[in-house]
Every structure is written in C-alpha cells, then in structure tokens.
Chains A and B, each alone.
Chain A
C-alpha cells in the first residue's frame, strides 16, 4: 500500500534542480510526481518515481544525499469537498499530516494525492475504514498510464 518517496537535499542555486531531473531523464526513469520544500538557502526535492531503487542508486552515485520515506497515494474524488472528506476522516483519528502534494493527472473522475504521515500504517487503517482508496505503486503506474 505504501509508496517509496525519494527526498533529495538541494542547495538553492541555479542548476541544482535540473541535475537530478536530467539524470533520471537520461536513465528513462519517469517522475510520477514531485514537490519542493524550500528554505532560504536550501530545499528538499521530494520525488515519486517508477523505479525508486534504481533512481536512488543513480542519484547517490552522482553524489547526492538521498533519503527514502514511506508515503501514501490516495485516490480522491475530483469534486468540491472531495479532499475535505478525506482529511476529515484522518483528523478525526488524530493523525497529523506532515505534508501533501498532488498528481497532475487524474483517473476517471478521481485525482491522486501524496500524503505523508508519521504513522502510515495507522493512516492506511483509517482510510480503509472510511473506504477511501489507497493505491500501491503498481496500481498507480497502471492508472496513470491509462
């Protein structure tokens, strides 16, 4: 159910972002989605890619500092209140959301979000109880292709 997200430490300077992106492009590894958290001098690039293990090795060989985190990909109805409903269920269970970001593609009438919780397993249990769809990596790739 859980997805592996890669986090890269990047300095805030020209070219810092394009280096890893180009490296993955040259290896024909597709980036499913990404987000950047930034401070004044540095940032963290968060990536969800098709083959995280290969991507991690490639990025580390290039000398980048890379971490792996478990995140959840959650299917949310693409309509007003769709996201609010999902969040309400998780908040009710007392789970604190660290951060989230969206996929640009949709599947049918649903969109996808990446959610990051300290306790992803508990989050999965809550989501399943509320019949909210959490998709795994294989399923995600399949849906994003269609």
Chain B
C-alpha cells in the first residue's frame, strides 16, 4: 500500500452514508430526535424539568428546530453541582459504562452511556475514521489514553467497527510508540497533536525517518491546536493531520471530524445539534458568525445534554464542502473562552501566540507561556526551545531569532513578551493534553 494510491482511491465508505443525507431529511430527523429526547430529559432529569417549568415550557412546545433556542442552557457547573449521577435519565440497570473527566479544575464530571449510546458513539467514530479515508486493512495505533478519559475507548470501538486493526497502545512510553509505528506498519495514529509532535521529535533522535514509514494519517484532537501547527506536523512527518472534535459531556471524541478537504470538522448532525451563541449575552448567532459553540445531543439516553455550553469558540459554516457531505462544518477550534488569559488588561489566547511563533522561520512549536506579576505589573514570558536549525556558532543568529519572535508575538497580541530561548526538551512533554500556560501571578 503506497501512501498516495490508497488515499486517492478512498471513495466513500458505506458507513459514511448518513454524512450525505439530503438537508431536508436531515432536519426532519433532527426534529424527531430532539422532541423525543427533550421528553426523556423532562420526565427523568429533575434539573432540566425545573428549568423548563421556570420558563413555562413543556416538551410539547418544541415544534420546530428553531424552538431549540428557547430551551435552557446546561453548563459544566450543572454537571459539577449534580455530581456524580444527578443528570442521568436512565436507571443504573440500563447504564453500561461511565467515564469521567480528569478533574484538573475541581471535581471530575461523570458521564454515562447506555448500550444504545455506546453504539451511537461507535458509529460516529467509525464515520470519523472513514471520513479521512481509513478503512479495513488500515492499522490504527490508538495512543489516546485508555481509562476514564473518553479518547482511548471511544477511538478503539470506532476503529474496530470500521474493520481496521487497532493497536490499543494507550498514551505514553514514546520509544515503544515509535517501535510499534515502525515494526507494525501502522498507517494511522490517534493522539493529541502535542503528543504527536513529541513522537516526531523522539523519532528523529532515534534516527527513524517518518517519511519512510507507511503512516499516512493522524487523527488529532482533545486539545485546541492551530492551522500553523497542522502545517508544521504535516511538513515534519509527511502525513495528513486531521482534526477530530468532541467532548465527554456530549459523547467524547467523534462529535465532528474533518474530511480530506481539511476545511474544518463536519458535525455529525444526525446525532448532535450545533448552535453558536454570543458568549456574553447568550443570544443565538447566524452561521458564519463567531461565538461559543453550544451542542445538543439528539439521541443520548443515559445523559441527554440540552444546549450544553462548550466554551469552544468557533463559527458554523453551512457552505457546501467539496467532499459533498451535507453536514455543516465548524471552524477548527483553536481557542476556548476559558483559555483566555488577561495580561495587563489585554485578552490573549495561547493559540495567538502559537501562530505567531510558528510564523518565524525555524521556530519550533515547543513553547510555554509563563505569567508573573512584578511590582504590580503582569509579565508574560514565552519560553521557546531552540533546535540546531535556528542557531549557528555565533551569538548574532540567536539574538536575531529572539528579536523576531518578540516582534511576531507583539504584533499578534499587542503585548511585548520576554522571549526566553531554552534548550531542547526543557519543556515537559505531555502524553495527553499540553499545558501551555503557567500562571504564577498571585491575585
């Protein structure tokens, strides 16, 4: 199997059929499913019933898809407040699996699945792999963590349903990842983009040339990343890097996935209904306008989510995609409203800094933003690892690099950072989600 022929020959996989539903049929299906699910939530989830009543609404009031904007929002705080099982709509006897978030900020949140929910999840992941041209015969190395995190098991069952060969290697042990990639003729890998970068770097040090491996696709997600990062990964590894989107609260990965056009993930709208709202006012925005993504599950049984506020910032595109899918797309998510850092009163997203860094020739995407407060003033230090490509034997080159990085970040954010050049591998590598910001300010 050569890298190119298989990719080109990838016509549509039968499992992708629902991706091409005529829009009218798709809207009918969405409404039918929404009505059924609103009734299920109303009858079984106390918090949802109470909020509906406060608005003077009953399930029967949902008569069209537009009525969704009248339903109450649900937030991560609701999940925490009802920890662990307060939002379940089914008895434990029908729930076959629980997952939980890592809980880095407070208590973890718990999500539940009935067998039907697992089947839906498997279906959307299977369609995700199919969307980027994978099929039976492909060997998929699943380097998402297995366990409470939804990434590992989610990708696993979807890949099996596709008929692909799954290697359930989970995250970590990078040397073994590289050995397996090479020895098992792996054709696709799933992990966070930052972990894949780490794998590429380590492979280079071990003398493994990625471009000689049969690996041709990466299904990357679980953290925000930029288009510049995609270009960097594709250039350094010779593979195609696809963006998969999802979140545990909705189902896990597989809420949306890119097609070979790589023009933003298509939302699996037959199961998830997307809206974009103004984060401050909660008002719905039109397609094409940027705001906070709000998702409603259309078939979830164990834990229906109605108008869940994701904090992910994006815009919905209803422009037709060259691939022919009728599913609308979201702009790739490179920032979250809760990622935003405020430095000296200026709003900054880590993704702006990532893009600015990667604009500078030779700069590597290994960086960390450190915020401190000195004499009442915020200071932003951006640490960037230096590689052999960007320095010579004289100091001039390094000083120039430092100046170019400073300027690029300053023009992107309006803030002059302290750029600190550091030795390769000084920034701790993450096997899951990368930690880009260390806020050491004492508030």
Which of A's residues lie within 8 Å of B, judged by CB? 5, 7, 9-11, 16, 37, 39, 41-42, 44, 46, 60-61, 63-67, 69, 98-99, 116
Contact = CB atoms under 8 A, between A and B. Distances in A.
Contact of B391 (A9, A11, A61): A9
A9 B393 contact: no
Nearest to B388: A65
A11 B423 contact: yes
A44 B398 contact: yes
Interface of chain B, main secondary structure:
loop
Contacts of B386: 9, 42, 65
B391 A63 contact: no
Interface of B: 205, 386-388, 391-395, 398-399, 420-426
Interface of chain A, main secondary structure:
strand
A73 to B, nearest CB: 15
Given A60-B205, A65-B388, A9 B421 contact: yes
B29 to A, nearest CB: 53
Contacts of A60: 205, 388
Given A16-B423, A60-B205, A116-B393, A39 B388 contact: no
Contact of A99 (B394, B398, B421): B394
Nearest to B201: A63
Nearest to A41: B420
Contact of A39 (B393, B395, B423, B426): B395
A11 to B, nearest CB: 5
A65 B386 CA distance: 7
A39 B399 contact: yes
B423 A10 contact: yes
19 contacts: A9-B386, A9-B391, A9-B421, A11-B421, A11-B422, A11-B426, A39-B398, A41-B420, A42-B421, A44-B393, A44-B395, A60-B388, A64-B423, A65-B391, A65-B423, A65-B424, A67-B392, A67-B393, A98-B393
Contacts of B424: 63-65
Contacts of B392: 7, 67, 69
Given A7-B393, A41-B421, A44-B394, 19 more contacts: A7-B391, A9-B386, A9-B391, A11-B422, A16-B423, A37-B394, A37-B395, A39-B398, A44-B393, A44-B395, A60-B388, A63-B423, A63-B424, A65-B424, A66-B388, A67-B388, A67-B391, A69-B392, A98-B394
